[in-house]
Structure 1
């Protein structure tokens, strides 16, 4: 039985993509060790394969990445394996070095354009370090996967390599609905799920709520701007129109999302990483069979146009967004959503990963 060591820099608990990939590898009779880090969270990790979560001394910045890469290098070096599976650029260096030292096969999964994330926009030196690392290693890799056609084209044009697209699609499954822990009676529920960070269009959405009657915005997730957004809601007197639910595990969230009427994904064009994004939440909305409103960015707009499952915002103003929400309310997207759900699922998408493993 071949052994794959999968490594990622996050806490493992909410990473649906890595969980799906490991589950697929298990079904193919690979022995798996999944390595990540452990945050101080109340969630228990229950998996059918081996996991290792490192408790880090540092949790952000240069010292975090230095510690992660050094510890991961030695852990990978002295761990039995046949294949290394690196997730995102921040775990690639130790995986690449070990693959070269020990002659092991390496698969790289780019969940995003890491060197183009908004957090690096004004940090030119740090950004250049990640770009140099990417430029050094990626042209040498034979098996690279990513989450969208735009990122695939970016890497292929830049580094003259072949990249396989494996989108982060949900499993098709029937789930029982669980009501929100607050009254939604008589209201149109608009849901956002994901990181509560800058550039996600949440400030725009809060402003838009001032123009809507009998509407409720539910924000699921936490992030850098959670506190400032909560302050904005309170100072605007919108606490009855905007509800914060904090962090919810994906297995629990899937029971809540179908209760909403509209899902939003309003990322701003803050560089290539957001521009080429195809967020997990859009697929989660589709599988919950609720229509979506998305930004006019290549991947999201292409998806919405192809399946006719929602609307695209072109003019990012509260007035325009409010009009779009009212338009979506009046239209029936049910058949289009059922059709999209049937096609956009992991059972079909995983065949691309299996083909790459067998090549």
Structure 2
């Protein structure tokens, strides 16, 4: 049985893409060990494959990346393995070095255009460091895949690579219904799930709620803007922040909504090419979606007719558009789309990469 070591920099608990990849590979007969980091608030894991969390002294900035990459390098170097699976640029260096030193196959999954993330816009030196690392290693990799066609095309043109596309789709699930910890009777529920960070359109949506009657905005997730935004809406009973919850809990809350949001701003290539997994979670929950006028998101709406594209990014106009969407019926299109947009339809492509390593 071939052993694959999979590495990420997060704490493993909410990374659904990596969990799905590991489960698919294990089902195919590979032995899996998933490595991430341990945080103070990390929740216990119950996975069918092995996991390892690295406890660090530093948990942010340059020192975090330096410490994690060094410790990951040591773990990879002295662990038995046949294949290394690196997730994103921030785990690539130790995986690449060990693969070269020990002549092991390496596979790379790029979840985003890492040097183009908005957090690096005002950090040109840091961005340059990540870009240099990417330019050095990526052209040398033969087994690569990513989350959407736009990113695959970008890398193929830039590095003459051959990225495959493995969409970050949810697994097939039956609808389950939970309940929100607040009253929702007679209200339309608008939901956002994901990182509460810059560029997610949350400030715009919060302002838009002023012009929407009988609606509640539910924001599920955590991130850099969480404290600021929760303070901003402290006494606003139309807006509720639920923080970070488990995927299992989220699965029961999403179907309660009437509209799902993915209204990211165009803050560079990383957001422009984004195809957030929450879009597909909304579809699986059979709720219509409102997305930004960005290529990958827009294509889902146009292809499957499961929602609308934001027409104007100002609060009054957006409120009017949302009011109209909430009166429409997308149920037939959603039921059709959810049959196709599932992880099970991506598994064969993923296994082809690992079963035919170059």
Runs of 4+ with >2 A deviation: none
Which digits, 9 at most, give the CA deviation of each residue in 1:21-69, with x for residues without a partner? 0000110111111100011115211111111100111001000000011
- 2:259 aligns with 262
TM-score normalised to the size of structure 2?
A: 0.98
- In structure 2, distance between residues paired with 1:269 and 1:96: 32
Partner of residue 295 from structure 1, selected from 292, 295, 301: 292
Number of positions where the alignment pairs a residue of Structure 1 with one of Structure 2: 356
- 2:241 aligns with 244
Instruction: Compare 199-208 and 170-179 and name the one that shifted more.
Output: 170-179
Partner of residue 348 from structure 1, selected from 332, 345, 348: 345
- 1:338 aligns with 335
The equivalences for 1:77-156 within 5 A come to 77-156=77-156
- In structure 2, distance between residues paired with 1:245 and 1:192: 10
- In structure 1, distance between residues paired with 2:175 and 2:302: 27
SS of equivalent residue, structure 1 residue 210: helix
- 2:35 aligns with 35
TM-score normalised to the size of structure 1?
A: 0.98
The equivalences for 1:185-264 within 5 A come to 185-234=185-234, 237=235, 239-264=236-261
- 1:272 aligns with 269
Query: Following TM superposition, by how much is the alpha carbon of 1:314 offset from its aligned partner in structure 2, in angstroms?
Result: 2.7
8 A Cα contact 2:5 2:85, kept in partner:
yes
- In structure 1, distance between residues paired with 2:45 and 2:355: 29
- In structure 1, distance between residues paired with 2:122 and 2:169: 32
- In structure 2, distance between residues paired with 1:247 and 1:204: 21
- 2:283 aligns with 286
Which digits, 9 at most, give the CA deviation of each residue in 1:159-201, with x for residues without a partner? 0010000011001111421011111100000000001111100
Query: Following TM superposition, by how much is the alpha carbon of 1:214 offset from its aligned partner in structure 2, in angstroms?
Result: 0.3
The equivalences for 1:51-62 within 5 A come to 51-62=51-62
Structure 2: gaps (5+ residues) = none
- In structure 1, distance between residues paired with 2:160 and 2:277: 27
- In structure 2, distance between residues paired with 1:137 and 1:89: 10
- 1:321 aligns with 318
